[in-house]
Amino acid sequence: MGKGSCYCGKVSFTYEGEPLNKAICHCTDCQKISGSAYTTNIIVPVEGFNISGTPKKYSAKAATGREVTTVFCGDCGSPLWREGEMSKDTLVVRAGSLDDKGALTAAKPLAEVYTNDRAGWLGEQEGTKQFPEMF
């Protein structure tokens, strides 16, 4: 079981079980949403995911052409997870929103997606599968 929250604490969530996958995303959407070069994510099932508070949502077409919804706190703006047509059974949770201090270490990625958009000064993460676009 894991738990996470936004920066101000008005939106929180819990999930059951272990992440199904862990991935870094270099897509330009994630760069824009995070204000950084990439996002570090864990993929968890929708089943067993519980929310406290009322997050805001913003939906747009991703590079794949599928609609993706970014869920964030309407007060502090923290991005929390993404959901959508890419998989209706899973959520892509931003590892930085997890409350456990060791969460980022535990979220060591197994894959990197949209490596075609990776910043030129970033290298491939050792031991990760590389995907030029979405897998």
pLDDT digits (tens, 9 = 90+) for 104-128: 999 999 999 999 999 999 999 999 9
Q: How many domains does the chain have?
A: 1
120 inside domain: no
Strand partners, 44: 91
Residue 62 pLDDT level (bands cut at 50, 70, 90): confident
Q: Which two tokens stand for residue 13?
A: 């969530």
101 inside domain: yes
- CATH classification at residue 81: 2.170.150.70
What's the pTM?
0.93
134 inside domain: no
66 inside domain: yes
111 inside domain: yes
Average pLDDT, the chain: 94
58 inside domain: yes
The backbone torsions φ and ψ at residue 104, rounded to the nearest 5 degrees and listed phi first, read: -65, -35
pLDDT digits (tens, 9 = 90+) for 25-50: 999 999 999 999 999 999 999 999 99
23 inside domain: yes
Indicate the burial class of 110 (C-beta count within 10 angstroms; 0-12, 13-18, 19 or more): middle
Residue pointed to by tokens 């059951």: 16
40 inside domain: yes
Q: Which alpha helices (DSSP H) does the chain contain, by range?
A: 28-34, 103-106
Measured CA to CA, the distance from residue 27 to residue 5 in angstroms comes to 23
The backbone torsions φ and ψ at residue 113, rounded to the nearest 5 degrees and listed phi first, read: -115, 155
Residue 135 pLDDT level (bands cut at 50, 70, 90): low
Domain that holds residue 83: 2-115
**Does the pLDDT value for residue 87 go beyond 90?**
no
